[in-house]
Amino acid sequence: MNPDVYLAAAVAELTVALLLLPRLAIGPSVSDRVVALNTASTQAALAVLFYSAYADRTIYLDVAVWLVSFSYLGAIVWARFLERGLL
Amino acid sequence: MSEFWVLDYLVLALILGSAVLVVRVTNLPGATMALSAVGTFLAVLFVVLGAPDDAHSEVVVGAIALPVLYLAAIAKVRAHVLDEGELREEGEDEGEGNAGR
């Protein structure tokens, strides 16, 4: 496939992440901010995946794996912090 | 390297927007989330510039470890104020907790 398609997909993912930033700024509750942050992390990981397909380098896939796994861990940390404020 | 500059400037705009949010958001957990977003998009910038090892370190440190340290600091300050009650004066009643929760 044409590699420019993958680059356009990565640009689209990061554009979605850019549209998520106002929700991170003016979330009425802290739960809206948690959802916006986790969605932005997922979009960043997908952008790294598509950029790895564009650049034809498989070493970048490890970064996407780290991003997704630590996004999940960060969701757990945020939930624990919001439930009991002692972390 | 046809339309590579679009991706580069888009990631830079994301980092700058998140960094502005860190200092503009008045809610303390919201500012910490913006700091985590700065680390995440900085890892994406490292990938775009061709340094995956630095991106690994930036994901672990900038997106997780540093916001967790800030959260631990916020939690300890809140627990200290909540438990000790040093900011409460003598004749004041116990009715007012912290307004942040």
- pLDDT tens digit string along B21-79? 999 988 888 999 999 999 999 999 999 999 999 999 999 999 899 999 998 888 888 75
pTM of the model: 0.83
Closest CB to B18 among A21, A34, A48: A21
Under 8 Å between Cβ of A65 and B59: no
Q: In angstroms, rounded to a whole number, what is the distance separating the alpha carbons of residues B2 and B20?
A: 30
Q: In angstroms, rounded to a whole number, what is the distance separating the alpha carbons of residues B4 and A4?
A: 9
Is the pLDDT assigned to residue B97 strictly greater than 50? no
Q: In angstroms, rounded to a whole number, what is the distance separating the alpha carbons of residues A82 and B84?
A: 21
Q: In angstroms, rounded to a whole number, what is the distance separating the alpha carbons of residues B27 and A16?
A: 24
Residue in A closest to B100 by C-alpha: A85
Q: In angstroms, rounded to a whole number, what is the distance separating the alpha carbons of residues A44 and A51?
A: 10
Q: Inter-chain contact B78–A85, Cβ cutoff 8 Å?
A: yes
Is the pLDDT assigned to residue A86 strictly greater than 70? no
